[in-house]
């Protein structure tokens, strides 16, 4: 009888539950009277469009934010993915990971301070013994090796472990903070966009880790493939509440659609029946059949349609047209070399790549972070027609763009592409001066900027809004070549799906850097895989490429 009781206690400890959680901002309701439970050994995707309150709800569950109404039950040890990349700049990478176990880190710091004293009092000696007990209980004697295993799995090389956080790149910082959230055997994990800036190899490692994790997992992600691979349940924020569905993201969409379709069908049948009853009532209300009329009235009351709350999901409409098809060959290049600066000097990553891209090819650039994908795009675009971004440079080699080429470029650091202090409408106008105000507003509307939002200044846009504005620019340009470097990082799932569909239908040439496997699988007709030995050029779909790599 003892074992079931122990299991029950563990389950209760790692459970997360909310009771009557309500959050309002003025007249806007994010969610109201939310009662939901997140059970151990289950992995939940927290979904909903940008602005629906996903990050707010995550902060409430972690204790970072207090709800206006309601209470939260949570375990003592929660792993939380920090969104502040600069908070740990003064600490070593390995120490930043160990900080994920707050009790252990506090004990280590206090212990080391006491050991640094020339002499200790009896009371301090007793305290050191207590601290050693905490360190032992929290696996502190293997902390550095345990942290190193996490870092290695996420692609942070051993030579970086003793570096300060301020010395490593932004994408690497995100992976260190992810390792921090996973460190110290937490009972629950709250992960907000954990796959941002992760390469495919690191995403696969994370999927395996989470699938083996025994506690509660709640994750926000715009990566549909990732959610389908790890989630046992989806907690969807919609209709001003949270509704749970069994399965991955695609399962949730199917169930949600079926439920709404069923209710709409039932309502239609009820409305038809009510219309027939009301016709009978109006014909015989003044006659001798009063008992039958009263019976019909009661049936009308019983058949009131189920009230369908309005969904908060908004779906953007993305369509990339081309003005001119361009020449047979979109780009030819020979001996391209490109590198970037590191704390130790200059690192050459593209060491003489030669290739040719035909009109209409959709090429996906794949490989580990810092393997040279963005560096290659940087080199190819250095003399690209209609490219206005600055700082693009070719170190060596020749690049020739095709006849009547026009390029639409979405940079990984796209915020630098948008000048500050100008309205969205005025910024977009420069990319199609002949367009009418209705044309500009129409494109903005497609990307969910309604009414007077187009007059909003660019320097107050959120990351997601700036991202959507960049897609407005690309749709206005109508380029015959699209170069997209990590375009999904600040999009919600609805927008990622819309982008996926748009790229599948795009008739022009595409160069795409992404770690979204659905996007790769459904869009790519050719793959450039960046490895330690150089760029591997494979002509075929992603499924064909995976088959090829298994055979070779």
**pLDDT tens string 422-440:** 999 999 999 999 999 999 9
In which domain, by residue range, is 425 found? 329-551
Could you tell me the CATH number of the domain that includes residue 21?
Answer: 3.40.50.300
Q: Is residue 84 part of a domain?
A: no
What's the chain's length in residues? 552
Q: Are 155 and 191 members of one domain?
A: no
- Structural domain count, the chain: 4
Q: Is residue 322 part of a domain?
A: no
Q: Is residue 82 part of a domain?
A: no
Rounded Cα distance, 154 and 174, in Å: 10
Q: Can you give the pTM of this predicted structure?
A: 0.77
Q: Is residue 35 part of a domain?
A: yes
Q: Which of 166, 183, 200 is the last residue of a domain?
A: 183
Q: Which of 183, 202, 222 is the last residue of a domain?
A: 183
| Residue located via tokens 């639409």 | 408
Q: Are 194 and 61 members of one domain?
A: yes
Selection from 407, 417, 411, 412 nearest residue 387 by Cα: 407
Q: Are 57 and 194 members of one domain?
A: yes
Selection from 468, 475, 462 nearest residue 435 by Cα: 475
Q: Which of 161, 183, 205 is the last residue of a domain?
A: 183
Per-residue confidence (pLDDT) for residue 135, from 0 to 100: 93
Question: Within 10 A of 433 (CB to CB), how many other CB atoms are there?
Answer: 6
Residues (pLDDT < 70) of the chain are 1-13, 260-261, 263-267, 270, 286-289, 293, 300, 303-313, 341-347
Q: Is residue 497 part of a domain?
A: yes
Q: Are 378 and 493 members of one domain?
A: yes
DSSP 345-392: EEEEEEEEEEEEEETT-EEEEEESTTSSHHHHHHHHGGG-TT---S--
Q: Is residue 87 part of a domain?
A: no
Q: Are 470 and 395 members of one domain?
A: yes
Selection from 307, 313, 315, 308 nearest residue 237 by Cα: 313
Q: Are 370 and 397 members of one domain?
A: yes
Q: Are 207 and 276 members of one domain?
A: no
Q: Is residue 388 part of a domain?
A: yes
Q: Are 235 and 257 members of one domain?
A: no
Q: Are 243 and 259 members of one domain?
A: no
Rounded Cα distance, 552 and 546, in Å: 10
Q: Are 407 and 355 members of one domain?
A: yes
Per-residue confidence (pLDDT) for residue 177, from 0 to 100: 93
Q: Are 257 and 221 members of one domain?
A: no
Q: Is residue 156 part of a domain?
A: yes
The pair of structure tokens assigned to 402 is 């095709």
DSSP 511-540: EEE---HHHHHHH-SEEEEEETTEEEEE-S
E strand or H helix that includes residue 46: strand 43-47
Per-residue confidence (pLDDT) for residue 544, from 0 to 100: 94
Per-residue confidence (pLDDT) for residue 307, from 0 to 100: 56
Q: Are 34 and 179 members of one domain?
A: no
Burial class of residue 302 in the structure, from the number of CB atoms within 10 Å of its CB (0-12 exposed, 13-18 middle, 19+ buried): exposed
């Amino acid at each position: 009888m003892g074992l079931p009781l122990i299991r029950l206690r563990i389950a209760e400890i790692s459970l997360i539950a909310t009771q009557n959680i309500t959050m309002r901002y003025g007249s806007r309701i994010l969610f109201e009277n939310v009662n939901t439970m997140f059970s151990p050994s289950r992995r939940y995707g927290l979904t909903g469009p940008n602005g629906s309150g996903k990050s707010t709800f995550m902060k409430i569950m972690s204790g970072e934010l207090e709800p206006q109404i309601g209470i939260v039950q949570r375990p003592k040890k929660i792993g939380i993915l920090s969104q502040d990349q600069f908070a740990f700049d003064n600490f070593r990478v390995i120490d930043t990971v160990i900080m994920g176990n707050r009790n252990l880190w506090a004990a280590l710091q206090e212990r080391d301070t006491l050991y640094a004293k020339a002499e200790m009092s009896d009371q301090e000696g007793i305290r050191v013994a207590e601290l050693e007990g905490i360190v032992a209980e929290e696996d502190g004697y293997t902390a550095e090796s345990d942290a190193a295993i996490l870092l290695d799995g996420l692609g942070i090389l051993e030579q970086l472990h003793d570096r300060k956080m301020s010395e490593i790149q932004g994408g690497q910082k995100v992976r260190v903070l992810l390792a921090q959230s996973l460190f110290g055997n937490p009972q629950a994990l709250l992960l907000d966009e954990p796959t941002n800036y992760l390469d495919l190899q690191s995403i696969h490692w994370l999927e395996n880790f989470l699938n083996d994790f025994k506690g509660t997992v709640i994750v926000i992600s715009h990566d549909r493939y990732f959610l389908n691979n790890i989630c046992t349940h989806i907690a969807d924020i919609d209709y001003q509440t949270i509704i749970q569905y069994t399965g991955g993201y695609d399962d949730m969409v199917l169930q949600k659609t079926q439920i709404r379709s069923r209710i709409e069908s039932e309502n239609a049948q009820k409305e038809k029946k009510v219309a027939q009853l009301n016709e009978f009532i109006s014909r015989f209300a003044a006659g001798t059949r009063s008992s039958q009329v009263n019976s019909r009235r009661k049936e009308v009351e019983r058949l009131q349609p189920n009230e369908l709350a309005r969904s908060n999901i908004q779906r953007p409409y993305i369509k990339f047209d081309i003005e001119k098809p361009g020449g047979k060959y979109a780009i030819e290049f020979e001996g391209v070399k490109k590198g970037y600066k590191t704390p130790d000097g200059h690192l050459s990553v593209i060491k003489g790549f030669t290739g040719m891209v035909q009109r209409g090819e959709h090429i996906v650039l794949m490989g580990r972070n810092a393997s040279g994908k963005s560096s290659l795009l940087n080199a190819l675009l250095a003399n690209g027609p209609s490219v206005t971004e600055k700082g693009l440079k070719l170190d060596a080699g020749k690049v020739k763009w095709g006849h009547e080429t026009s390029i639409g470029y979405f940079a990984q650091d796209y915020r630098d592409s948008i000048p500050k202090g100008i309205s969205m409408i005025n910024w977009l106008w420069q990319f199609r001066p002949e367009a009418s105000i209705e044309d500009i507003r129409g494109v903005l509307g497609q990307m969910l900027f309604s009414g007077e939002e187009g007059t909003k200044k660019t320097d107050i846009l959120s990351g997601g809004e700036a991202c959507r504005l960049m897609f407005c620019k690309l749709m206005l340009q109508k380029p015959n070549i699209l170069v997209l470097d990590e375009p999904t990082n600040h999009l919600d799932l609805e927008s990622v799906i819309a982008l996926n569909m748009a790229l599948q239908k795009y008739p022009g040439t595409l160069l795409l850097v992404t770690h979204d496997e659905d996007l790769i699988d459904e869009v790519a007709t050719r793959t450039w895989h960046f490895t330690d030995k150089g760029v591997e050029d494979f002509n075929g779909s992603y499924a064909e490429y995976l088959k090829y790599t298994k055979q070779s």
